[in-house]
Amino acid sequence: MKYSLCIGAYKGKDVVYHLEKIKEHGFQGLEYYSWWDLDIKQVAKEQDRIGVGIIATCTKFFNLVDESKRLEYIDGIKQTIEACKILGTKSIITQTGNVINGMSREIQQQAMVETLKQSASLCEEAGIILEVEPLNGLVDHRGHFLQYSDEAVSVIDQVNSQNVKLVFDVYHQQITEGNVIRNATNYIDRISHYHIADNPGRKQPGTGELNYINILNAIKETGYDGYVGLECGYTIDTDEALDVFKQTILKNVETLSV
């Protein structure tokens, strides 16, 4: 498996600083969400120099459940694909938007499926994966439409494209439904990317109730070789926290070369 950090891991530091730190720690990529804030051609040059790059970003507009927003969503996907081509980024993360009150869940889900189908053809042509991310509605994202693993998988199956898959965020799914290892492994063929953080608090793995040695080993045993992103805050200095993560968790999952 490969490991990525998310922008903000080093507070107040820019994308180049993060990339250099990722290289230093022996990780493999950076998730940078607001690509439109970057001079992407300059960042592409820095990626080449450092030897690691942005492996995932977000689309510009989040609303899959409102059919009237479809053209705006598709336009955002098109712009993001063009940015990804320059950066060499192969994954685009999207959320779904909030529930529309007064409209049936079935209608909203069907709007999401249709918008994703139209996005899928664009992503297939570009060789990019569009990753749909369920979020918890209990603590962090009240009203978010897509929260549960089974519904997320149902949506992906209806879209029926190898270029539309899921981000499985262990933190969010622990809050929403628990049963993390079973869902994180049973749905492996629909999952493109994992996010990890501990619960409660969304801090680095090892600070809460989740057994990340068991979780990561279970994912590894499926044969998964994609990215696991540390999308978390840190209770101590980031460099120290990452060293602890490597020595107390990753050494029990991976053969470390750093």
How far are the Cα atoms of 21, 138, 186 from residue 7, in angstroms, in the given order? 11, 24, 29
Q: Is 231 a catalytic residue?
A: yes
Query: Do β-strands 2-6 and 227-230 pair in parallel, antiparallel, or remain unpaired?
Result: parallel
Q: Where are the alpha helices (DSSP H) in 90-191?
A: 105-126, 149-159, 170-176, 180-186
Structure tokens at 199: 């619960």
Q: Is 133 a catalytic residue?
A: yes
- Is residue 13 exposed (0-12), middle (13-18) or buried (19+ Cβ within 10 Å)? middle
Q: Which of 31, 67, 131, 231 is catalytic?
A: 231
Residue 200: asked if its preceding bond is cis (omega within 30°), the reply is yes
Q: Which of 31, 67, 131, 133 is catalytic?
A: 133
Active-site amino acid positions:
133, 231
